[in-house]
Chain A
């Protein structure tokens, strides 16, 4: 492996990690607050991607630069409409019920969305690479790469990371979310509307998944099944990091992204194996994830 390939692998890994981070951090946030593994998360990712492609194909004839707001608009629409619906009408009636029911109802949402996606957008691959082509290529240590993938995507990921950190730790709304996570009963007693907190958190998490999909849509062709692949991958990242760990998710996404990129260049057939193998190894040693806090058994 020469240095050009190594640089290529690193750039691939970074741009991939940025996308995976956006999706995984949404999953992790939802689990951290609602204690629900959202199986429909991958479908939100896929819907975000498809709607973004539809929007940007629609606005591209007017002005190609409008495709960027179109990506953002698509992810917010999906986050609010689909995410809001799942939380309000599926998860909320189940609060206080067994975990398996909550998990399974998001699985039902996954099945329905997976089917709807085929009905709405068909099974033929869709391409909408306009936003990718608008930005120039740049040279990184002599390797030419699209600046959309090496600057814009990691930029958005970093902005999300620091934005979330700031929001949760420095603003009142963030403090309210943390309070509900810490002790739902006590926070309700001092007048916090826990249901609203759950709703808002779920919509934020869902929007992040859709944003990941929207930003991924220019770089890849959209095919059925992309959601089912993404959910396990983002779950692997979130679980390896420790569910609910925001900074940990970023580091793990980077680690898995880079490892995967190098494996693609060295031993391509084992590409899909990487995240799951890492997940098994990490969870066997540290079931609470690399960055998760160990809970001691009480008795």
Chain B
């Protein structure tokens, strides 16, 4: 494979180019693509943990942390800048991820998932009930921030945030791929295949997983900050367990074998939601549920896996 661009990478490059150009033609796509990219960044974190065989059913807590970091800044400090919001959102989530991670990386599989869920539900109830600070279920409005001191009109701003999301998505995509190819990333995968053997090599599996977990929380926080800026609001719903389920859903939909699965899944998910919500009013959840069932039953490796299966069939099963 040396020197040749892999087909998945090629599709990824095409996807990023399309998301840069297509919204220029149809302006309602700007927000759609920005959301796809932002959610894709969060799901990258889920895919990272899936490499280690661990499913976090509580990752919405980092998503909400990122979103509320921007919201609190807007509410208590005022003003704000996209760069500042994203930096703060990422750092807060990474710190939160480190604290939670210190506890959860001691457990595996169902216990890992359960503990993540428990932590995220604690955060959700706090956001919902600390009414004086968080406005409860109504959430906090996130005023439109500036970018490096420049402020924009709403029509321009949707493109500004689209290209910011695109830039971060590309960097995150590249970074996660490099990480998974690095020795550290291979050790992360070894947790899934044979954790005991990993420890016999003299490595601490917990530390390897903790690093992966913090990166994953960091990505979740950045995605959350972006979505809060795009939708101009942060609500406790961002941290509810259904949100966590949605992220795992997108990861499986796209395919967890490759980092690009995150964006493939997010694109499919948001497009179905966008068009189903527009044309079939109250049934988008039903449609997404059916899509998920079909994917799980007939293409358990996700959209990415479909392409690979097709490619393999052409090459005669290799």
- Measured CB to CB, the residues of A under 8 A from B are 37, 39, 90, 93-94, 97-101, 103-105, 107-112, 114-116, 118-119, 228, 231-232, 235-236, 239, 243, 269-273, 276-277, 279-280, 283-284, 287-288, 299
Q: A99-B109, A103-B55, A119-B286 are in contact. List 10 more A-B contacts (CB 8 A).
A: A99-B110, A107-B245, A109-B289, A110-B245, A231-B241, A236-B118, A239-B118, A280-B119, A287-B115, A299-B196
Q: A101-B296, A105-B296, A236-B118 are in contact. Are A269 and B282 (CB under 8 A)?
A: no
Query: Smallest CB-CB separation from A39: which chain B residue?
Result: B245
Which of A103, A119, A228, A236 has the most CB atoms of chain B within a 10 A radius of its CB?
A103
Q: A101-B296, A104-B248, A115-B289 are in contact. Are A280 and B129 (CB under 8 A)?
A: no
Query: Smallest CB-CB separation from B200: which chain A residue?
Result: A299
Which of B111, B114, B130, B297 has the most CB atoms of chain A within a 10 A radius of its CB?
B114
Contact (Cβ within 8 A) B126 A116 = no
Q: In this assembly, does B50 line the interface, its C-beta being within 8 Å of a C-beta of chain A?
A: yes
User: What A residues does B274 contact at CB under 8 A?
Assistant: none
Q: In this assembly, does B131 line the interface, its C-beta being within 8 Å of a C-beta of chain A?
A: yes
Q: In this assembly, does B13 line the interface, its C-beta being within 8 Å of a C-beta of chain A?
A: no
User: What A residues does B128 contact at CB under 8 A?
Assistant: 272
User: What A residues does B131 contact at CB under 8 A?
Assistant: 269
Contact (Cβ within 8 A) A235 B290 = no
For the complex of A and B, the 3 pairs showing the least CB-CB separation, nearest first, are A112-B289, A111-B289, A108-B292
Query: Smallest CB-CB separation from A35: which chain B residue?
Result: B110
- Per-residue CB contact flags for chain B residues 270-306 toward chain A (1 = under 8 Å, else 0) read 0000000000001111101110110011001000000
User: What A residues does B114 contact at CB under 8 A?
Assistant: 235, 239, 279, 283, 287
Q: A90-B293, A283-B114 are in contact. Are A273 and B126 (CB under 8 A)?
A: yes
Q: In this assembly, does B103 line the interface, its C-beta being within 8 Å of a C-beta of chain A?
A: yes
CB distance from B12 to the nearest CB of A (A): 23
Question: Bound complex: CA of A112 vs CA of B290, how far in Å?
Answer: 7
CB distance from A137 to the nearest CB of B (A): 32
